Amino acid sequence: MNTSVKIAGVTLKNPIMVASGTFGSGAEYSEFVDLNRLGAVVTKGVANVPWPGNPTPRITEVYGGMLNAIGLQNPGIDVFIQRDLENLKNYETKVMVNVCGHSIPEYVEVVERLADTNADLLEINISCPNVTKGGITFGTVPSVAEEVTREVKKVAKQPVIMKLSPNVTSIAEMAKAVEAGGADGVSLINTLTGMQIDIDRRKFALANKTGGMSGPAVKPIAVRMVYEAAHAVKIPVIGMGGISTGRDAIEFMMAGATAVSIGTANFINPYATVEAVEEIEVFMKEHGIEDINEIIGCVE
């Protein structure tokens, strides 16, 4: 039985990755799961310098999920390489580094610094606020997303996965734009922008007013977008958004994802990732699937 999949030339032992920002850099969850069991560890977004993130409250709970406005707090690329990437050398799993920035030069700087590290894949988060364009995100305008991709690709030594925002009219257009920019793959979905109001106190639940929605509640939207993106581009798609179990993972793969990430579900069940790996194997046995690659995009 083969569970390994290939993303832009990088072989993952299985399609289960973690979603950036929900798993730190793996250290905290290594107390619960054997990181060697994962297809890849995807690290929290890292910028060229430390980012302090947003004021609290940074999260709130919603029906079937949560809103977060962490604001991409991170220690910056220096500490990240020395401490977090170094620690991940102890595991036999692939590493995808999630990169954030306020401007194209910031993205480029981080990607350059990652060149000679043990990062296997780069995931470029274009849902960050774009200071040069007055705070709109890079990820909602196809031409801007294409430009980021192109500039990053110029300096990247590793395959570049562009992480798409779901807050767009056409995810297919966005996927095509980054493919045109030279992306080696796309990952989606990032969080859906949401809001919650505490009506008794007449205040926003989050200090940031809005937050990104994630968790089981967003799954149907994510599956639809993965399907649309997979049908729009030739590069591989990494699916995420509300995946809690191996069966959820298979749903995304049948929609067209080559690999998947588990995010919010880690908070609900710290063992979610390894349990998903096991559940996929059970499903394959039950359905006589020899090679997991058979099911990728099998529902047309």
Paired tokens of 102: 């306020």
Nearer to another protein, 222 or 230 (CB): 222
Number of residues lying near its own copies (CB under 8 A): 42
Which one of the listed residues 10, 67, 85, 128 is annotated catalytic?
128
Neighbours of 150 (CB within 10 A): 15
Q: Among 65, 26, 47, which residue's Cα sits nearest to residue 218? A: 65
Paired tokens of 255: 């929609």
Among 3, 117, 137, 190, binds ligand FMN (CB under 6 A): 190
Residue 242 lies near ligand FMN (rule: CB under 6 A): yes
246-255 vs 272-286: helix axis angle to the nearest 10? 70
Contact partner at residue 53 from ligand FMN, its own copies, another protein, none, CB < 5 to 8 Å by partner kind: another protein
Among 191, 208, 245, 273, binds ligand FMN (CB under 6 A): 191
Residue 19 lies near ligand FMN (rule: CB under 6 A): yes
Cis (ω within 30 of 0) for the bond into 16? no
Residue 245 lies near ligand FMN (rule: CB under 6 A): no
Are the C-beta atoms of residues 147 and 181 closer than 8 Å to each other? yes
Q: Among 86, 91, 222, which residue's Cα sits nearest to residue 164? A: 222
Q: Among this protein's residues, is 100 annotated catalytic?
A: no
Binding stretches for its own copies (CB under 8 A):
62-65, 67, 140, 167-170, 192-197, 199-200, 202-204, 210, 213, 216-221, 223-224, 227, 242, 247, 250-251, 254-255, 283, 287, 298-299
Residues lying near ligand FMN in the complex (CB under 6 A) are found at 19-22, 44-45, 68, 70, 72, 98, 125, 163, 190-191, 214-215, 218, 240-243, 262-265
Residues of the shown chain interacting with another protein in the complex, contacts defined by CB under 8 A: 21-24, 28-29, 31-32, 44, 50-53, 56-61, 63-66, 68, 70, 73-76, 79, 215-216, 264, 266-271
